[in-house]
């Protein structure tokens, strides 16, 4: 029968292989727990103590290191100059008609192709608000004007 330290080494290698395949920091915590169990197994023959060390170290490393690793590895969105048009008002220069696939809007001095978020047609000359960007198209909705205001 294999010595417990060899079994823990095999378990650690398996967790590292899973980590290498997934590349998502899924099982690294358990590999650290298995490493601790290997070290304990060299000094203590009680399998229950080794399992307890494995579980405690795995849980502690998961709790302590996962939030930090997620923060470091998460890709932060880099805003672009195009993002500044979101929420901006513009004027329809070519009638927006999703069915016909036409529409252009001038926003912040630039002309963009546009589509309506609700699918309704928006005639030329209307003011619109940019809701979001999809590819190179702006998705717009008619601008809400205060009561009594003229457009």
Can you give the pLDDT at residue 24?
A: 74
* Distance, first Cα to last Cα, the chain: 85
- Evaluate the CA torsion angle 61, 67, 68, 69 in order and state its sign: positive
CATH number, domain containing residue 113: 2.40.50.140
Is position 9 within any domain? yes
Task: Give me 146's structure tokens.
Answer: 């205060």
State mean pLDDT over 134-147. Answer: 82
Can you give the pLDDT at residue 26?
A: 81
Least confident range of 3-12, 65-74, 108-117: 65-74
In terms of domains, do 93 and 130 share one? Answer: yes
Is position 22 within any domain? yes
In terms of domains, do 11 and 68 share one? Answer: yes
Asked whether 100 and 113 are in contact (CB, 8 A), the reply is: no
- Evaluate the CA torsion angle 68, 70, 76, 77 in order and state its sign: negative
Is position 150 within any domain? no
In terms of domains, do 9 and 69 share one? Answer: yes
Can you give the pLDDT at residue 151?
A: 44
The percentage of residues in the chain with a pLDDT greater than 90, rounded to a whole number, is 54
Mind listing the pLDDT tens digit for each residue in 33-76? 999 999 999 999 999 999 999 999 999 999 988 888 777 766 66
Looking from the CA of 74 toward its CB, the CA atoms found within 13 Å total 8
In terms of domains, do 27 and 47 share one? Answer: yes
Asked whether 136 and 111 are in contact (CB, 8 A), the reply is: no
Is residue 128 predicted with pLDDT exceeding 60?
Answer: yes
Q: Show which of 31, 57, 73 is a domain's final residue.
A: 73
Q: Which domain holds residue 103?
A: 81-142
Can you give the pLDDT at residue 66?
A: 80
**For all residues of the chain together, what is the average pLDDT?**
87
How many domains, in total, are found in the chain?
Answer: 2
In terms of domains, do 89 and 67 share one? Answer: no
Cα-based distances in Å from 6 to 2, 47, 51, 138: 6, 13, 14, 60
The percentage of residues in the chain with a pLDDT greater than 70, rounded to a whole number, is 89
């Amino acid at each position: 029968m294999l010595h417990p330290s060899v079994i823990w080494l095999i378990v650690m290698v398996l967790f590292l292989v899973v980590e290498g395949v997934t590349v998502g920091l899924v099982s690294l915590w358990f590999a650290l727990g298995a490493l601790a169990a290997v070290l304990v197994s060299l000094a203590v023959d009680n399998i229950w103590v080794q399992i307890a060390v494995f579980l405690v170290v795995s849980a502690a490393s998961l709790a302590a290191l996962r939030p930090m690793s997620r923060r470091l590895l998460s890709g932060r969105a880099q805003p672009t100059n195009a993002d500044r048009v979101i929420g901006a008002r513009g004027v329809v220069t070519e009638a927006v008609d999703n069915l016909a696939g036409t529409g252009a809007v001038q926003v912040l001095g630039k002309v963009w192709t546009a589509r309506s978020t609700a699918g309704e047609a928006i005639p030329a000359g209307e003011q619109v608000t940019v809701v979001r960007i999809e590819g190179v198209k702006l998705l717009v909705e008619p601008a809400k004007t205060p009561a009594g205001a003229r457009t």
